């Protein structure tokens, strides 16, 4: 399995280099993503702060913090993989690989 994934490493590195070529757009995307995550974080902290019990829907405040940041990480990984798969499919269709 590891050997099969090594085949795609040059494509992934190339995509990362391409994304970093437009550093302004790359950093803007990171900023906007983090901004949305922090809004979600502080919203949940306010909700837990106004709650009379320490849990909401059987989730503690610490569990919700982990959940918010895991959503951020997994959504960004999913987006990157989707973009990579879309570009690979386009290259395969146009026979540029």
pLDDT of residue 28: 84
Residues whose CB falls within 8 Å of the CB of residue 36, separated by 6 or more in sequence, listed in order: none
Residue 8: phi and psi, rounded to 5, are: -90, -5
* Residue 67 near residue 59, CB atoms below 8 Å: yes
| Per-residue pLDDT in tens (0 to 9) along the chain, 97 residues | 567 767 777 877 887 787 777 778 778 878 888 898 889 889 988 999 888 888 888 889 899 889 888 888 888 788 878 877 877 777 778 776 5
- Please write down the HEC assignment for all residues of 11-80: HHHHHHHHHHHCHHHHHHHHHHHHHHHHHHHHHHHHHHHHCCCCEECCEEHHHHHHHHHHHHHHHHHHHH
- Give the start-to-end residue ranges of the domains of the chain: 2-93
pTM: 0.56
């Amino acid at each position: 399995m590891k050997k099969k994934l090594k085949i795609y490493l040059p494509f992934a590195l190339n995509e990362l280099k391409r994304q970093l070529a437009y550093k302004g757009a790359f950093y803007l995307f990171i900023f906007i993503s983090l901004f949305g995550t922090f809004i979600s974080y502080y919203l949940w902290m306010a909700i837990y702060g106004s709650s009379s019990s320490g849990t909401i829907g059987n989730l503690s405040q610490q569990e919700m913090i982990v959940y918010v940041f895991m959503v951020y990480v997994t959504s960004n990984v999913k987006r990157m993989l989707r973009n990579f798969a879309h570009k690979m499919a386009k290259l395969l269709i146009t026979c540029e690989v």
